[in-house]
């Protein structure tokens, strides 16, 4: 069980910075540091884009800052991806250019902190925001949804393992902005 000092500080992963070193320095100034996400620096730093790394069939339009799933490509790539993942679980890792801060954060000596935190977009929010070419959220495609939960769990697991190597009190925060009241309320007119 994780044990932290009372009132230990941490923060959300998304930061408005465009300077990587300043963002990491600020994150390290808290009781429980985290690797910053800097979407003003690069769209790859967006929490949805970060989670998309190596997801079969995902198309990231950097110019329009949009992400969507090409379902046909997803099914064409899925078996090959699963075979590759079985041999090399590192395909779930967060690497450059999808994060400009994560690897630098992991280079720091994090043992003296009472804990360290990683973050990842949750499957509900990801599945509601990312849609196919018909604008249907992928959460409503049962085959894609099953893979989505598997994929994000594996991404969180590899992140946890890497953070845990740096600090035994590591944990992962799943960010679920899609679970706000407006998303969950059924409106009738």
Q: What is the pLDDT of residues 70-121, one digit of tens each?
A: 999 999 999 999 999 999 999 999 999 999 999 999 999 999 999 999 999 9
* Residue 33 pLDDT greater than 90, yes or no: yes
Say which residues have a Cβ less than 8 Å from residue 21's Cβ, sequence separation at least 6: none
pLDDT of residue 181: 53
**pLDDT, tens digit, for every residue of 111-148?**
999 999 999 999 999 999 999 999 999 999 999 999 99
**pLDDT grade, residue 2 (50/70/90)?**
confident
Q: Which residues pair with 120 in a beta bridge?
A: 174
How is residue 14 annotated by DSSP?
Answer: B
* Residue 161 pLDDT greater than 60, yes or no: yes
Mean model confidence pLDDT for the chain: 94
How is residue 151 annotated by DSSP?
Answer: H
What pTM was computed for the model? 0.92
* Gap between the Cα atoms of 119 and 77, Å rounded: 27
């Amino acid at each position: 069980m994780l044990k932290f000092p009372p009132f230990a500080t941490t923060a959300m992963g998304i930061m408005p910075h465009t300077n990587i070193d300043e963002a990491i320095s600020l994150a390290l100034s808290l009781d429980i540091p985290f690797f910053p996400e800097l979407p003003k620096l690069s769209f790859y730093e967006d929490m949805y884009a970060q989670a998309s790394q190596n997801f079969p069939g995902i198309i990231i339009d950097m110019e329009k800052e949009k992400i969507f799933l090409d379902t046909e490509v997803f099914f064409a790539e899925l078996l090959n991806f699963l075979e590759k993942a079985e041999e090399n679980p590192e395909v779930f890792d967060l690497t450059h250019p999808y994060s400009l801060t994560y690897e630098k954060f992991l280079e720091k000596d994090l043992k003296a902190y009472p804990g360290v935190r990683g973050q990842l977009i949750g499957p509900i929010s990801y599945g509601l925001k990312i849609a196919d070419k018909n604008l249907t959220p992928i959460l409503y495609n049962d085959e894609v949804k099953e893979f989505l939960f598997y994929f994000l769990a594996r991404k969180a697991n590899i992140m946890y393992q890497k953070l845990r190597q740096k600090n035994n009190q590591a944990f992962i925060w799943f960010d679920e902005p899609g679970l706000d009241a407006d998303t969950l309320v059924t409106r009738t007119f």
